[in-house]
Amino acid sequence: MSQIDLATTSLRELNETLQAQKGGDNQTAWEILNPRGSHALAVGLDAPIEVTVKGHTGYYCAGMNQQATVHVEGSVGPGVAENMMSGAVIVEGDASQYAGATGHGGLLVIKGNASSRCGISMKGIDIVVQGNIGHMSAFMAQAGNLVVCGDAGDALGDSLYEARLFVRGSVKSLGADCIEKEMRPEHLDLLTDLLTRAGVNAKPEEFRRYGSARKLYNFDIDNAY
């Protein structure tokens, strides 16, 4: 275990050190002390390392992550795991707006609540939120899975493409072209796997599935002006 203390090390130095890690090194576990709400912590990682952040972070924590597992023992600001490609990001606290935005892959787990625009434009990432999510979540979401153990805010899945949304609690309102869909056995299997990987104890059959009605993004002469 290596420790990097942001009270004595610059953010740039920290990110350079973590970004320089290559697969196969012995040094795989890192601990970051005194994050004090810093922005862009542990971004652009590209090695199977484990990074633990001891406290709250600011904007864009663990953005563009590939392969690494980043564990935040606190809450995160806007844009956590933005554009993640692979690996995992686990947040013990809450996440601010647009968590997991545009993510292509990997797993984002938020143990608290996520605020507005969670999973906006997601492109293959899996997001599991143990609490609630805010309004306009999964806006224009293209691929991947968003699992919400609590409630969802207004306009869930507005202008949705092919991402799958699973919500256990209430949905305040659905966005344009987002509808409830039948939960088939393959969806229960998928959900079971996601909940297991996220370490969340919830029954898959308690969730409802939402997805695209496919009326908005297919060519339809009635949509033309």
Partner 1 sequence: MCGIVGLFLKDKALEPQLGALLTEMLITMTDRGPDSAGIAIYGAAGNRAKLTVQSDNPDQDFATLAEELEAALGAPVTLRANDTHAVLELPADQVEAARTAIADRPGRIRVMSDGDVIEIYKEVGLPRDVASRFNLPAMSGTHGIGHTRMATESAVTTEGAHPFSTGPDQCLVHNGSLSNHNSLRRKLRREGVRIESENDTEVGAAYLTWKMQNGASLGEALEASLTDLDGFFTFVVGTKEGFGVVRDPIACKPAVMAETDQYVAFGSEYRALVNLPGIDAARVWEPEPATVYFWSH
Binding residues (CB under 8 A) for partner 1: these are 36-39, 55-59, 75, 77-78, 93-94, 96-97, 115-116, 134-135
Question: Considering beta carbons, is residue 21 or 102 the nearer one to partner 1?
Answer: 102
Question: Considering beta carbons, is residue 50 or 73 the nearer one to partner 1?
Answer: 73
Q: Counting beta carbons within 10 angstroms of the beta carbon of residue 201, is it exposed (0 to 12), middle (13 to 18) or buried (19 or more)?
A: exposed
Question: Considering beta carbons, is residue 87 or 134 the nearer one to partner 1?
Answer: 134
Question: Considering beta carbons, is residue 34 or 86 the nearer one to partner 1?
Answer: 34
- Could you tell me the smallest distance in angstroms from the CB atom of residue 113 to partner 1? 8
- Could you tell me the smallest distance in angstroms from the CB atom of residue 57 to partner 1? 8
- Could you tell me the smallest distance in angstroms from the CB atom of residue 25 to partner 1? 32
Question: Considering beta carbons, is residue 132 or 145 the nearer one to partner 1?
Answer: 132
- Could you tell me the smallest distance in angstroms from the CB atom of residue 182 to partner 1? 32
